[in-house]
């Protein structure tokens, strides 16, 4: 076993010679390394705050940042571990003058260097939940006097993309979407096409059979209940797809009708209430696959899925609730009555006022919500009392997570530049 290698004052403060990382991110050195030691298959890092981290030699070899491991232009891996002559092992581990870890790896006799900030951020030995979300999910209830998280977006259309000024709106909007599944932007222009300008700052738009941008207003010969003046029950959009859209944007261009209040429910809050109050119904809805169908005149989308979908940790991943888009249930004969009992237990809770958040769209409002978590609905409105025009589009959840990471990366880059670590 290699003896521990300790840092000096010079090593702790040096940064100009730090190695690159196998990604494009910025990794601040919040805690320097005190010493390192190794066996052939494990590197042990002792940090100055007392934490001890262990990294397997094979993991280190695959995650190196040299030109034999990644393409320096793309930061994508080019190494095939199975092409090595033997299992990668550590022959020697030291700290260099920048405070980085330097390893001599066999059988290649290759020297590899690792950035201390990157190592600390990827310390899988001390991570309780490596799959934890970027922002903690917080469920919420509705009720009177409740409002969505609301941000002033006036002037955003004239703000340069990817600028610090843009991030003053984008950062809290992304946080609200990841945390609450819902955010409202106010003060935007009411010209058609404004939506596309704003939505593209989050990511690429997803086209569907309703188009890339769609207009939500009453029209003759409608191909969706949304294009009428009738009330809409709580639902998610397009559960008939294998992967229904992750985000929905609705921008109000005009609203002078009587009625037509928007209604939002946190589907995760409803599901958690069902899990606590009727665990058998909850379990049934996570198990039985329902048929979702949209059999329009020119399209025919069908998908089967549980109504409540959990991840491997039994945490809520998505809900698929849309009564008007459910086709005939096709499941085991003995499960049918229990499935419908569970469905009705859920439906009863969807009508409870405790879950409903009601608000009226004002011209210039843009409401963005997680379509695989939130349920949206609408009160009926009087079609001849005025005009109600919303323009909508879909994006994916991935775009919010990607933009959030980029915003955080740029914040760290600015902080590192100010601290002289860039």
For residue 325, what pLDDT is reported?
Answer: 94
Q: Are residues 250 and 298 in the same domain?
A: yes
The answer on pLDDT for 385 being more than 90 is no
The answer on pLDDT for 292 being more than 90 is yes
Residue 159 lies in a domain: yes
Q: Are residues 122 and 178 in the same domain?
A: no
For residue 297, what pLDDT is reported?
Answer: 83
The answer on pLDDT for 2 being more than 80 is no
The answer on pLDDT for 384 being more than 70 is no
For residue 293, what is the DSSP state?
E
Structure token pair of residue 241: 């797809």
The pair phi, psi for residue 371, each rounded to 5°, is: -75, -10
- What ranges in 210-278 are assigned the alpha helix state H? 267-277
For residue 380, what pLDDT is reported?
Answer: 80
Residue 270 lies in a domain: yes
pLDDT tens readout for residues 153-186:
998 888 888 888 888 889 999 999 999 999 999 9
Q: Are residues 120 and 229 in the same domain?
A: no
Pairing of strands 290-295, 89-95: unpaired
Taking Cα atoms as reference points, which of 191, 200, 140, 190 lies closest to residue 170? 200
From residue 261, alpha-carbon distances to 75, 271, 360, 380 in Å are 48, 24, 5, 8
Q: Look at the chain and report how many structural domains it folds into.
A: 2
For residue 10, what pLDDT is reported?
Answer: 37
The answer on pLDDT for 381 being more than 50 is yes
Mean pLDDT of 97-109: 97
pLDDT tens readout for residues 216-231:
887 556 656 666 667 8
Q: Are residues 106 and 228 in the same domain?
A: no
Q: What is the CATH number of the domain that holds 306?
A: 3.60.130.10
Q: Please report, rounded to a whole number, the percentage of residues in the chain having pLDDT higher than 90.
A: 76
Structure token pair of residue 76: 């994508």
The pair phi, psi for residue 256, each rounded to 5°, is: -130, 20
The answer on pLDDT for 15 being more than 60 is no
Range of the domain at 40: 2-127
Q: Are residues 64 and 202 in the same domain?
A: no
Q: Are residues 314 and 267 in the same domain?
A: yes
Q: What is the CATH number of the domain that holds 89?
A: 3.30.2020.30
Structure token pair of residue 335: 């499960």
The pTM of the full predicted model, rounded to 2 decimals, is: 0.88
Q: b/e per residue, 30-68, with b = 16+ CB within 10 A?
A: eebbbbbbbeeebbbbbbeeeeebebebeebbebbbeee
Domain boundary among 95, 127, 159: 127
Residue 35 lies in a domain: yes
Q: Are residues 107 and 240 in the same domain?
A: no
Q: Are residues 155 and 231 in the same domain?
A: yes
Considering only 74-83, 123-132, 319-328, 339-348, which range has the smallest mean pLDDT?
123-132
Q: Kindly write down the DSSP assignment for every residue of 27-53, as one continuous string.
A: ---SS-EEEEEEETTEEEEEETTS-EE
Q: Are residues 51 and 157 in the same domain?
A: no
Summary mean pLDDT of the chain: 91
The answer on pLDDT for 6 being more than 60 is no
Q: Are residues 375 and 334 in the same domain?
A: yes
Residue 139 lies in a domain: no
Residue 134 lies in a domain: no
Residue 25 lies in a domain: yes
Domain boundary among 96, 127, 158: 127
Residue 142 lies in a domain: no
Mean pLDDT of 362-389: 88
Q: Are residues 272 and 359 in the same domain?
A: yes
Q: Are residues 39 and 182 in the same domain?
A: no
For residue 142, what pLDDT is reported?
Answer: 95
Residue 103 lies in a domain: yes
Considering only 2-6, 325-329, 345-349, 376-380, which range has the smallest mean pLDDT?
2-6
Confidence at 132, pLDDT banded by 50, 70, 90: confident
Burial-class residue 71 by CB neighbours within 10 Å (0-12, 13-18, 19+): exposed
For residue 414, what pLDDT is reported?
Answer: 87
The answer on pLDDT for 13 being more than 70 is no
């Amino acid at each position: 076993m290699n003896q521990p290698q300790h840092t000096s004052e010079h090593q702790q403060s040096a940064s100009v010679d730090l190695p690159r990382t196998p990604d494009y991110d910025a990794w601040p050195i919040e805690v320097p390394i005190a010493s390192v030691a190794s066996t052939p298959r494990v590197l042990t890092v002792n940090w100055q705050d007392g934490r001890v981290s262990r990294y397997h030699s094979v993991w280190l070899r695959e995650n190196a940042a040299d030109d034999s491991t990644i393409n320096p232009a793309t930061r994508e891996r080019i190494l095939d571990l199975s092409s090595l002559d033997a299992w990668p092992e550590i022959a020697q581990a030291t700290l260099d003058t920048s405070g980085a870890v330097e390893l001599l790896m066999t059988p290649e006799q290759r020297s590899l260097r690792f950035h201390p900030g990157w190592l600390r951020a990827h310390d899988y030995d001390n991570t309780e939940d490596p799959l934890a979300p970027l922002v903690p999910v917080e469920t919420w209830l509705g009720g009177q006097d409740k409002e969505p998280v609301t941000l002033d977006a006036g002037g955003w259309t004239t703000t340069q993309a990817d600028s610090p000024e843009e991030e003053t709106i984008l950062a809290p909007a992304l946080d609200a979407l990841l945390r609450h599944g819902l955010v409202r932007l106010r003060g935007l222009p009411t010209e058609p096409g404004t939506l596309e300008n704003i939505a593209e700052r989050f990511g690429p738009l997803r086209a569907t059979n309703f188009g890339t941008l769609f207009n939500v207003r009453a029209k003759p010969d409608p191909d969706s209940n949304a294009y009428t003046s009738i009330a809409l029950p709580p639902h998610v959009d397009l559960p008939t797809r294998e992967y229904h859209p992750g985000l929905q944007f609705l921008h109000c261009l005009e609203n002078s009708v009587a009625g037509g209040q928007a209604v939002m429910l946190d589907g995760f809050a409803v599901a958690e209430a069902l899990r606590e109050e009727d665990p058998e119904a909850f379990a049934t809805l996570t198990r039985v696959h329902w048929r979702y169908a949209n059999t329009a005149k020119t399209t025919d989308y069908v998908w089967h899925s549980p109504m409540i979908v959990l991840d491997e940790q039994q945490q809520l991943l998505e809900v698929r609730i849309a009564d008007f888009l459910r086709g005939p249930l096709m499941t085991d004969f003995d499960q049918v009555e229990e499935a419908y009992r569970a469905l009705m237990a859920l439906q009863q809770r969807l009508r409870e006022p405790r879950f409903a958040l009601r608000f009226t769209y004002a011209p210039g409002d843009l409401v963005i919500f997680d379509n695989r978590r939130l349920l949206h609905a609408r009160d009926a409105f009087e079609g001849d009392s005025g005009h109600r025009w919303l323009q909508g589009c879909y994006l994916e959840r991935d775009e919010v997570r990607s933009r959030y990471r980029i915003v955080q990366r740029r914040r760290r880059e600015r902080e590192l530049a100010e601290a002289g670590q860039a």
